[in-house]
Chains A and B, each alone.
Chain A
């Protein structure tokens, strides 16, 4: 028994020795952010923590505090210090070429994320890559509505007439698609052009999260979308979730932005995400944070290991045009 326990513990200790080995032993991966007081950047940074752990890389965050001069200085500093790769979310997209030119002599990979950079800039350096969001809003909005209505049509059909009165700030594609004669199930909509907060409008589609919060505030004044039990509900959908809703929704029942703390906890300055979690807004199309950061880390890891940076046969959430070093990342749904 003692020999067996000793053998097993030795094995465990050996495994522990390997557990801490990162793939970039010779230098960190530097992650340069535009402004970490921006809730969108905070979410991306949190996602980056996850992706870096997934790919087992040593890394460090840098905050340019919305100054492109500071960001370029930071870039030079990390390159001088011997970083093994750079992931950068630009303060000013006009500095993209400067960034590429600065990195090039150091022969390390650089990935620009979350912004669409001109392909010629990326092509000017063989280890430059661009991972950016891919907009197919119409289809995503349609899927979002479809997913929701499948299980919740009766919940928002307040007058029970099997038809939804809709106020649409987004575009008619989703409702046109869902009411097409050949569809099954087919939904019926009646579009109105004045937004009413008295419950007669049963479905509201907005095109951005700030607008969705404004609409929500007005609805709540009339007694709608006030509680998690969804007793008086108007279906509300939007694009984006990082808008800080706390300081706007202030009727004593909703948490305020005082959840904003240090970097680790900045995520929950009561954003539209939290509003959706509470069931007050039904869904949103959002940036695929994990998709962007995982792709950026995968590219850096592949370059360090000497493999092809962008693998063949990417998952459905990505799109890479042949021969380019651009990867488009589709948006995802939140709440439905």
Chain B
């Protein structure tokens, strides 16, 4: 006899572990192409031998594409009122996942001996293709959270599991890739990066299909036939976004994370190549440093219910600030002892950041609700795409700015994994400084700007519930009159 679905009061599959795991699979899928992004700088400067300054400039140029790409796709999705068999967000994700099978790999086409102008074209074209498909898959994915459940505890669970998916999607490549793509002298092997990207694209596709098949949409967007397609005013949406303190606060925190941590991935790689002279353990070290958050995640939901998201995240950011100051002042030597000291500092730092990241996505869900509370409209696609835009901006600008700083501190791509010691020492301090910047921005965004503490959140949800019930009653009455 087939197992019967347990249904909730509205006739949907009751929220449970399958929803969380399916949602996690989505971020795993996204990360199968995104995780390699941290390798871009090393691949293009050291293997493809593109100058650091030129690469930094090209990175900014492709972020301009991002700036157009993200809100544009967000607006298209919002304005798309067609009826889809499953759900429009899932349909867009399905389309994006097909492109991502090869989308990530085209960023790592290994042609180091072609002319520089050809390398420029290969880089820009590859990045644009990857970015387009990634956005088509990722933007609706983020908005999906608020459609799976409106219950705060369910959202916290989805957010926490999203982080798990993201973590696994990051951890597995992070741990394994350095052992495969670097040789015994800490130099990158470009051909292998390309093959790895292809394999990860296929794995990502499988994960997306699992997610799409097992996601239950419980908060349907009401689609009316023959309704005139509404025009989305980007400037107005941007204005509303800037007035949305939770969205701005969560975005500043996320930008901090990307400017510092993501921007610093190249510096961290060179740290392991040239300072510790052991790039192959870099992945294991990074994964190990994520252990605290793995242990924290199962408790996320209970702690959120007890203390509140904002409160918990602020404590996390203070932990990170202290860990980063320690990383800056303690003498980290270029041997295994130094690696251990670095790992301990990272354990504390990542716990702090991890606390925020487990609730970050549900914070955006709450920010979307705040938009409805204050302005009367949700604008999920636009709010989320603007959040993504600023994140992408930080993700793009971060590595560019950091690469320029690295070059100023003496990094020379000619030397590959064998930078001089004094240059690698400069980068060791740069890594600590970047992590500290990350932590400080998170504190500013969460403690000073984000204004949805536990009490305010409860008040907002209660008022929104009443409003929705009232609206539904009016619709029923109007339907009866017709």
Q: Is A19 an interface residue (CB 8 A)?
A: yes
Cβ distance B194 to chain A, nearest Cβ, rounded Å? 11
Residues A265 and B333 in contact, CB atoms below 8 Å apart: no
Q: Is A154 an interface residue (CB 8 A)?
A: no
Q: Is A237 an interface residue (CB 8 A)?
A: no
Residues A273 and B418 in contact, CB atoms below 8 Å apart: yes
A226 neighbours in B (Cβ, 8 Å): 113
Count residues of chain B with CB under 8 A from any CB of chain A. 33
Residues A335 and B326 in contact, CB atoms below 8 Å apart: no
Assuming the contacts A228-B190, A264-B423, A265-B410, asked whether A53 and B113 have C-beta atoms less than 8 A apart, the reply is: no
Q: Is A49 an interface residue (CB 8 A)?
A: yes
Residues B420 and A49 in contact, CB atoms below 8 Å apart: yes
Chain A 300-336, CB within 8 Å of chain B: the 1/0 string?
0000000000000000000000000000000000111
Q: Is A47 an interface residue (CB 8 A)?
A: yes
A20 to B, closest residue via Cβ: B331
Cβ distance B337 to chain A, nearest Cβ, rounded Å? 9
Cβ distance A300 to chain B, nearest Cβ, rounded Å? 17
How far is B325's CA from A9's CA once the two chains are assembled, in angstroms?
A: 9
Which A243-297 residues have a C-beta within 8 angstroms of B? 253, 255, 259, 264-265, 267-268, 270, 273-274, 276-277
Cβ distance B408 to chain A, nearest Cβ, rounded Å? 13
Which B210-258 residues have a C-beta within 8 angstroms of A? none
Interface of B is mostly: loop
Residues B185 and A335 in contact, CB atoms below 8 Å apart: yes
Residues B414 and A255 in contact, CB atoms below 8 Å apart: yes
Q: Which of A9, A54, A277 contacts B334, CB < 8 Å?
A: A54
Which A1-17 residues have a C-beta within 8 angstroms of B? 5, 8-9, 12, 15-16
B68 neighbours in A (Cβ, 8 Å): none
Cβ distance B305 to chain A, nearest Cβ, rounded Å? 21
Cβ distance B201 to chain A, nearest Cβ, rounded Å? 21
Chain A 129-160, CB within 8 Å of chain B: the 1/0 string?
00000000000000000000000000000000
Cβ distance A44 to chain B, nearest Cβ, rounded Å? 12
Chain B 411-431, CB within 8 Å of chain A: the 1/0 string?
010111110111101000000
Residues B420 and A265 in contact, CB atoms below 8 Å apart: yes
Q: Which of B112, B185, B420 contacts A267, CB < 8 Å?
A: B420
16 residue pairs bridging A and B, Cβ less than 8 Å apart: A5-B322, A8-B322, A15-B329, A15-B330, A19-B331, A228-B190, A229-B112, A255-B414, A264-B423, A265-B412, A265-B420, A268-B412, A270-B414, A274-B414, A274-B415, A277-B185
Binding site for A on B (CB under 8 A): 47, 49, 110, 112-113, 183-185, 187, 190-191, 318, 322, 325-326, 329-331, 333-335, 410, 412, 414-418, 420-423, 425
